Amino acid sequence: MSSNPSLPASNFIRSLIEADLASGKHKSIVTRFPPEPNGYLHVGHAKSICLNFGLAQDFNGKCNLRFDDTNPEKESEEYARSIQDDVQWLGFKWDGEVRWASDYFEQLYQYAVELIKLGKAYVEDLSAEEMREYRGTLTQPGKNSPFRERTVAENLDLFARMRAGEFADGAKVLRAKIDMASGNINLRDPAIYRIRRAHHIRTGDQWCIYPMYDYTHCISDALEGITHSLCTLEFEDHRPLYDWVLDQLPVPCHPQQTEFSRLELHYTITSKRKLLQLVNEKHVSGWDDPRMPTISGMRRRGYTPEGIREFARRIGISKSANTVDMAVMEGAIREDLEGRAARVMAVVHPIRVTITNFDEANAQSREAGFHPNHPEFGSRMVPFAKELWIEADDFAEQPPEGWQRLTVGGEVRLRYSYVMCCDEVIKDASGKVIELRCSIDPETLGKNPAGRKVKGVIHWLSVEHAIAAEIRLYDRLFSVAEPDADKDVDFCQYLNPHSLSVVQGWVEPAVRAAAPETRYQFERLGYFCADRREHQAGGKLVFNRTVTLKDSWTKE
């Protein structure tokens, strides 16, 4: 992998493309990203998007966005729109118009007729259960269907009648005639058309037969002039079928299918079916819940497109297992935000401090920059007043060894402000600390105190000036690295009960007008993002914790 983050990482697919261009096999490359609009895209799709669009970008080629809309019962316009939004948000642009497999339904039908005429496809009357019995097993060959030797004329007639709606759903299928004894089960006369009366999001009720994915995908690639058809390793056993279909038909070209390992990310899941279960069972608030590994969820949490693209670059492309710890993703996001997020102060778990020697005539507020390395980010005034909020965690009556924050009789530096000493603790009837009475050293604004060293620095806010905000402290959705590893245990048992904590906190007045999706570092607390759904600039402020400042999970 390249050590220069500005350079793309080398991998076997990039090497293959370089060789194809150098040999003249292709003058330019055309890739495609072919999602099914049956759910929101997740982090595994982000890897594929970065690969397909990134290669096209790097080699001055083209990448198509093509929806695989061959399964009408599970597909929706909402999913299709979200996918387009995700690709654009990640920073990529597809070539021309959005394409759909349904654009080719008539051509796909005519190619199926061609296969029948060639004696390479037949109409099957066996039930789905009978077809499974005839198919055989991994160790036993299949056996020919009693309908396999129908004449071309009979098959053409039946297939036309299937299209015309004469038969019930599931009564017949069209199968490719390949080899029922093949060691590859995918070649044992796979179904290429089935009858399904379902309203389609684009073609309505025009069709009652729909092509199967394996048949549709390779022909769509060929019709679009795709040079490199990149897919995950579970399709490796399907490649002989991909090639067989294209070898039988007069298609414009024969793309090359190449497989790479899919992404498995610890502490989450990347199964659309299981993600849908989380949504339907209300374990999360929706597909874009900031705990979800969906692109829309990561966006809402505050992840950046640049951070996700860098994550994809770091994990690389290979044929070996690509199981990655969540810390790698969080590290890429943290590093990206380090340079781009303005820094402000917020208090999440507040405790009140009263400055007993506050003198309004002499106490001063100070100007503070939004980023130590980016003066162009500007600055703001940090107002000081008699009453302050500090973080409850920054005070301890009985401090542990090495404590460098506030304790009775101890001093700390208030960030951008004075050195402060805690003189008295006020408790309620139950013994809970509700207020600290402190004094400031008025000679320490912008300079160190004379004759003593103050180690600790804490953040704070003026009670008078602080703005109320809802703070959502997000953590990993699951408490174990591989929640769906045991197929006999419901993965929902491993949901992290502490994955979301909602608190009433306070933020600097400087963020009152922050627009949704504005990102900040709340000093000493982590990176936060104004919620893109519920945050209202100048109104109700809602901030989502994107990632902590350091990895707080124990390494395995």
- The yes-or-no verdict on residue 183 having pLDDT over 70 is yes
- The yes-or-no verdict on residue 364 having pLDDT over 90 is no
d(CA 415, CA 458): 6
d(CA 314, CA 5): 9
The pLDDT of 491-512, averaged and rounded, is 97
Are the C-beta atoms of residues 434 and 427 closer than 8 Å to each other?
A: yes
The pLDDT of 506-520, averaged and rounded, is 97
Would you please indicate which residues are annotated as catalytic (active-site) residues?
Answer: 36, 262, 272
Domain 272-342+469-547 sits in CATH 2.40.240.10: yes
pLDDT in tens, 285-326: 999 999 999 999 999 999 999 999 999 999 999 999 889 999
pLDDT in the model for residue 363: 81
The pLDDT of 19-38, averaged and rounded, is 98
- The yes-or-no verdict on residue 556 having pLDDT over 50 is no
Its pTM stands at 0.94
The pLDDT of 483-503, averaged and rounded, is 95
- The yes-or-no verdict on residue 500 having pLDDT over 80 is yes
Q: Which residue has the tokens 């710890």?
A: 325
- Do the domains 272-342+469-547 and 346-458 sit in the same CATH topology, yes or no? yes
Are the C-beta atoms of residues 51 and 34 closer than 8 Å to each other?
A: no
Are the C-beta atoms of residues 436 and 445 closer than 8 Å to each other?
A: no
pLDDT in the model for residue 523: 98
pLDDT in the model for residue 2: 39
- The yes-or-no verdict on residue 1 having pLDDT over 50 is no
- The yes-or-no verdict on residue 206 having pLDDT over 70 is yes
Alpha-carbon distances, residue 99 vs 193, 211, 513, 549 (angstroms): 21, 16, 40, 42
- The yes-or-no verdict on residue 9 having pLDDT over 80 is no
Domain positions in the chain are 12-260, 272-342+469-547, 346-458
In sequence order, the 6+-apart residues with CB closer than 8 A to the CB of 225 are: 30, 252, 253
CATH of domain 346-458: 2.40.240.10
The pLDDT of 1-14, averaged and rounded, is 67
The pLDDT of 507-529, averaged and rounded, is 98
The pLDDT of 180-202, averaged and rounded, is 97
Name the CA dihedral angle for 306, 311, 317, 318, rounded to a multiple of 10 degrees: 180
- The yes-or-no verdict on residue 3 having pLDDT over 50 is no
pLDDT in tens, 103-157: 999 999 999 999 999 999 999 999 999 999 999 999 999 999 999 999 999 999 9
Could you please state the CATH topology (level 3) that the domain comprising 12-260 is classified under.
Rossmann fold (3.40.50)
Q: Which residue has the tokens 């990176």?
A: 527
pLDDT in the model for residue 554: 54
